Amino acid sequence: MKKDKKGQLASQNLLAWSLLLPSFIILGIFVFYPMVKTFILSMQLTDLMGNPIKFIGFKNFLNLFNSDSFGTSFTVTLIFVFFSTTLTLIMSYLMAVLASQKMKGIALFRTMFSSTMGVSVTVASILWLFMFNPQIGLFSKILTLLHLPQINFLSDQTWSLIAIIGTTVWMNLGFSFLILLGAIQAIPQDLYQVADLDGASWWMRLRKITIPSTSATIFFVTVVTLINAFQTFGQVDILTSGGPDYHTNLLVYAIYQDAFVNHSVGRASAQSVILTIIIMIFTMLQFYVKNKKGAKNAN
Partner 1 sequence: MSIELQHLKKTYENGEEVLTDINTTIENGQFYILVGASGSGKSTILNAIAGFIPIDEGAVIINGKDVTQLPPKDRNLSMVFQNYALMPNLTVSENIVFGLAARHTDKDIQQKKLREVLNLVHLEEYKNKKPGNLSGGQRQRVSLARALVSDAQIILMDEPLSNLDAKLRAEMRKEIRSLQQQLGITVIYVTHDQTEAMTMGDQVMLLNEGKIEQIGSPLDLYNVPANTFVADFFGSPAINLVDVSIKNDILELNNTFKIPFNFENVQGKFKLGARPENIVIKNSGQLKGKVTHIEPLGDGTNLEVDIGLVEPFRIKVSEQIHLMIGDSVNFDILPDKVLLFTLEGNLIKIGQSELTVV
Partner 2 sequence: MQTSNFQKTSRLILLISVTILLLLPLILGISLSLSSSQSIAQGNLWPKHLEFGNYIKVFTNTPMAKFLLHSFIVSGLVMIGQVVLSAMAAYAFVFLNFRFKKSVFILFLSTMMLPFEAQIIPNFATMRDLNLLNTYAAIGLPFLASAFGTFMMKTSFEQIPTALRQLSDIEGLNHFQFATKVVVPYTRVSIITFALYSFLTNWNMYLWPLIATTNDKVRTVQIGLRQLRSQDTASNWGLIMAVTIISVIPTLLIIFLGQKYFKKGLTNGVIK
Query: Per CB under 8 A, which of residues 26..65 are in contact with partner 2?
Result: 26-27, 29-35, 37-38, 41, 50
Q: How far is the CB of 4 from partner 1 (least distance, A)?
A: 3
Interaction of residue 194 with partner 2, rule CB under 8 A? no
Q: How far is the CB of 245 from partner 2 (least distance, A)?
A: 21
Interaction of residue 126 with partner 2, rule CB under 8 A? yes
Interaction of residue 142 with partner 2, rule CB under 8 A? no
CB 164 within 8 A of CB 248: yes
Q: Could you give the CA distance from residue 107 to residue 178 in angstroms, rounded to a whole number?
A: 12
Interaction of residue 82 with partner 2, rule CB under 8 A? no
Q: How far is the CB of 12 from partner 1 (least distance, A)?
A: 13
CB atoms within 10 A of CB 267: 25
Interaction of residue 127 with partner 2, rule CB under 8 A? yes
- Contact letters (x/-) for partner 1, 3-22, by CB under 8 A? xxx-----------------
Three-class secondary structure of residue 247 per DSSP: coil
Nearer to partner 1, 2 or 296 (CB): 2
Q: How far is the CB of 14 from partner 1 (least distance, A)?
A: 18
* Rounded alpha-carbon distances, angstroms, from residue 189 to 44, 180, 198, 219: 60, 16, 15, 22
Interaction of residue 295 with partner 2, rule CB under 8 A? no
> Residue from 196, 198, 262, 292 that binds partner 2 (CB under 8 A)?
196
Q: How far is the CB of 37 from partner 2 (least distance, A)?
A: 4
Segment interacting with partner 1, rule: CB under 8 A, options 2-10, 168-176, 238-246, 273-281: 2-10
Pairing of strands 52-55, 44-46: antiparallel
Q: Could you give the CA distance from residue 197 to residue 72 in angstroms, rounded to a whole number?
A: 54
* Rounded alpha-carbon distances, angstroms, from residue 210 to 43, 98, 175, 186: 49, 12, 19, 10
> Residue from 3, 6, 54, 296 that binds partner 2 (CB under 8 A)?
3
**H-helix segments, the chain:** 6-27, 33-41, 59-66, 68-99, 106-114, 121-131, 138-145, 157-185, 189-197, 202-205, 211-213, 215-230, 234-239, 251-256, 265-298
Interaction of residue 178 with partner 2, rule CB under 8 A? yes
* Rounded alpha-carbon distances, angstroms, from residue 230 to 159, 187, 197, 280, 282: 19, 31, 45, 12, 11
Name the DSSP class of 53. E
Q: How far is the CB of 15 from partner 1 (least distance, A)?
A: 16
Q: How far is the CB of 2 from partner 1 (least distance, A)?
A: 6
Element (H, E) at 54: strand 52-55
CB atoms within 10 A of CB 28: 11
Q: How far is the CB of 3 from partner 1 (least distance, A)?
A: 7
Selection from partner 1, partner 2, none that 5 binds (CB < 5 to 8 A by kind) is partner 1
Site for partner 2 in 86-115 (CB under 8 A): 95, 98-99, 101, 103, 106, 109-115
Nearer to partner 1, 145 or 298 (CB): 298
Q: 42-66: b or e for each residue (b if 16 or more CB lie within 10 Å)?
A: bbbbbeeebebeeebeeebbeebee
Site residues for partner 1 per CB under 8 A: 2-5
